[in-house]
Amino acid sequence: MTRSISAPERPLWQRILVGCGVAIFWPAVWYALAAWVNKPYLLPGPQAVAVTLFGLCRTAAFWQAAALSLLRVVAGFAAAVVTGCLLAVLTVRFRMLRAMIAPLLRIIRCVPVASFILLAFIWIKSQMLPGVIAFLMVLPLIWGNVEKGLRQTDVRLLELARVCRLSPGRTWLHIRIPSVMPYLLPAMTTGLGFAWKSGVAAEVIGHTAGSIGQHMYEAKLYIEMPELFAWTVLIVVLSLGIEALLTMLLRRVARRFPEVTG
Amino acid sequence: MKIAWEQVTFSYGEKPLLRDVTLTLPERGIFCLSGPSGCGKSTLLRLLAGLEAPQSGAVCVPVGWRIGPVFQEDRLLPWRTVLENVALFAADPGAAETALERVGLAEWSKAFPHQLSGGMARRAALARAVAMRPDLLLLDEPFNGLDPDLRRQIADLLLEGRDERLTVVVAHTAEDRQMLRAQTVFLTPPVTGQLSPVQE
């Protein structure tokens, strides 16, 4: 059993100072770059983007787009987590199924997201496209990690459960699931980022009606650069927000498994 | 009802570790297995626990018997507290706390296994086995990492249950065997034929 020794945490005032410094530094770089380029239709400054974003916030279409995109991406992500976990359980149990499924999921992992979007665009409705693409991008990640976690389950603990006649349900709950957690939790955090990027890309290419992606596509079409930037800012905010929520949730889960999740 | 290894042959590789071994134990009491490292003591326990199957012969354990094991390693769930580890396998909710009190770990019930010393973890594993109220207690070197006082305490705990269950202990030292007042089966490699417990 190993312990990591880390440097003592910085005091709060230092952390606030560093945070503020970073928050000022990058917009300042952006501002300087925009001033240097001096072509707002190519690179709008942070001020113009903020004004546009504020204007968009006052429209129903903005909130509708945010809500729908969020819903689609989260639905695709959640479906991938559930399916990936179930699939991992089955492929660990049945070797034949693993032999069939594993190459397919490896191929999915290697195929560029744009290829999937273009292919899926032909086969399914554009409303479904972002969710399906997010699902396809996250599924192999979750499956691979959960399968690895299941295979790494300590055989000695499983032996203990067997001798003590712990029921299969309790063995899963108390031994197998906690063993999978250190593999599943990071995969979920990484997967959420994948889901957002691929989901919005699918909205842009698939022109999904009323979505953030469609608004971005139209802004690009009419060279409305401040608007394109404003939608991008929204994506970043939503992505960070949902990641923070997920991290909070996972921390609560991790508290139940202090030793395995570190 | 009897607990027996009947003409058991078992090997991990090509060379048999146990050959035609026969040993019968009564259903109550304490018995020790003793012998040099690698002679097959733990394997005899693993066969009894059903974790290994003999290549020939049979291992008899009455149907429905509860087996409480203590392996060479403590095998505590690292994500559960000491109390949760014991309670998960306990026969009833009160049994876990009682067992922890008996092994002197009541104050550590909320600690996680990584917070325990080697000796404490050993006692927690023993508490887990005892809390199951097993018919058959299989203890593989239960005294490892314990000081003389704790050995005495654990031996007393095992002696208390000698009329209620069968306890099979892998014990190296004569002192441990004497504390348990147990009959001992001495194993000498190659372990073969009829084995019998003897009183030291």
CA distance A185 to B132: 33
* B199 to chain A, closest Cα gap in Å: 29
CA distance A49 to A61: 18
For chain B, the residues whose C-beta falls within 8 A of a C-beta of chain A are 49-51, 66-69, 71, 73, 75, 77-80, 88-89, 112-114, 132, 138
Closest chain B residue to A254 measured between Cα atoms? Answer: B79
pLDDT the model gives residue B173: 85
CA distance A199 to A128: 10
Q: How confident is the model at residue B147 (pLDDT cuts 50, 70, 90)?
A: confident
Q: DSSP H helical segments within chain A, as ranges? A: 12-37, 46-57, 60-93, 95-110, 113-123, 129-151, 155-163, 168-171, 177-206, 212-221, 225-255, 258-261
- Nearest by CB to A164, from B79, B89, B114: name it: B89
pLDDT the model gives residue A187: 93
| A157 interface with B at CB cutoff 8 Å | yes
Q: What angle do CA B173, B178, B182 make, to 5 degrees?
A: 105
Asked if B73's CB is within 8 angstroms of A257's CB, the reply is no
CA distance A145 to A148: 5
pLDDT the model gives residue A261: 46
pLDDT, one tens digit per residue, over A225-256 is 999 999 999 998 998 898 888 888 887 877 66
* B181 to chain A, closest Cα gap in Å: 27
- Nearest by CB to A259, from B66, B78, B132: name it: B78
pLDDT the model gives residue A1: 41
- Nearest by CB to A163, from B49, B112, B114: name it: B49
Question: 10-residue block means of pLDDT along chain A (262 residues)?
Answer: 56 88 90 91 90 91 92 95 96 92 89 87 88 94 95 95 93 92 91 91 89 90 89 90 87 66 44
Biggest alpha carbon–alpha carbon distance for chain B: 48
Please name the residues between 170 and 199 in chain A that touch chain B, using a CB distance below 8 Å. 170, 174-175, 178, 181
Count CB atoms within 10 A of the CB of residue A168: 9
Asked if B89's CB is within 8 angstroms of A163's CB, the reply is no
Assigned superfamily of A45-261: MetI-like (1.10.3720.10)
pLDDT, one tens digit per residue, over B98-122 is 999 999 899 999 999 999 988 899 9
| B124 within 8 A of B103, measured Cβ to Cβ | yes
| A256 interface with B at CB cutoff 8 Å | yes
Instruction: Return all residues near B128 (Cβ < 8 A) that are at least 6 apart.
Output: B68, B70, B76, B85, B86, B89, B90, B99
CA distance B71 to A235: 54
Across B154-169, average pLDDT:
90
pLDDT the model gives residue A4: 47
Residue A50: closest CA among A243, A219, A229: A229
ipTM of the complex: 0.91
pLDDT the model gives residue A132: 94
pLDDT the model gives residue A258: 54
Angle, in degrees to the nearest 10, between helices B82-89 and B93-102: 130
Asked if A1's CB is within 8 angstroms of B50's CB, the reply is no
Which site among A2, A152, A164, A173 would you substitute to test the B interface, given the most B Cβ atoms closer than 10 Å to its Cβ?
Answer: A164
**Placement of tokens 């599924």 in the chain:** A139
pLDDT the model gives residue B1: 65
- Write the burial class of residue A10 (CB in 10 Å: 0-12 exposed, 13-18 middle, 19+ buried): exposed
| A166 interface with B at CB cutoff 8 Å | yes
Q: Report CA-CA distances (Å) from B4 to A3, A57, B17, B25.
A: 45, 79, 17, 6
pLDDT the model gives residue B14: 80
Q: Which residues of B touch A157 (CB under 8 A)?
A: 75, 77
Asked if B66's CB is within 8 angstroms of A165's CB, the reply is yes
| A106 within 8 A of A190, measured Cβ to Cβ | no
DSSP B27: S
pLDDT the model gives residue B148: 87
- Nearest by CB to B112, from A165, A178, A258: name it: A258
pLDDT the model gives residue B174: 85
